[in-house]
Amino acid sequence: MWICLNDGFLSIVKGGPHKGQLLVRARKRSHLAAFLGPSNAEAITYTPERDYHWRAYMPASLIADLLRRRLRDLSYDNFKDSVSENALHNMYAAWWSNHLRYQQTEHP
């Protein structure tokens, strides 16, 4: 699952050494740290040989709680405008354009 947040991009997949864990991955450490919060920062590992360099195995229940909190605290009415990191904003804007073209394949 890809998660686009206004302060980071994450990939979340099933897996982990313990039952009920998920693997949360990010291209930038700051994205993963912002999502997990300071109390979980020690769980972040650097994996330069992998496509996502930053990873953390976390309980699925914790990830669900963190996502619920993000939804509860949602304060913007325009997602792209809420992204302050320039490179992340540009990535999302390009992705938005690609999605629009994809949508137009259904009803050109």
pTM for the full predicted model: 0.90
What pLDDT score was predicted for residue 41? 93
Q: Give the burial class of 71: count Cβ atoms within 10 A of its Cβ; 0-12 exposed, 13-18 middle, 19 or more buried.
A: exposed
Query: Is residue 96 a part of any domain in this protein?
Result: no
- What value does the mean pLDDT take over residues 75-89? 97
- Amino acid 47 reads T
Range of the domain at 43: 2-76
pLDDT tens-place string over residues 27-73: 999 999 999 999 999 999 999 999 999 999 999 999 999 999 999 99
Per-residue pLDDT tens digits for 4-21: 999 999 999 998 888 999
- Provide the domain count of the chain: 1
User: In whole angstroms, how large is the CA radius of gyration of the chain?
Assistant: 15
**Residue 108 predicted with pLDDT over 80:** no
Answer whether residue 108 is part of any domain.
no
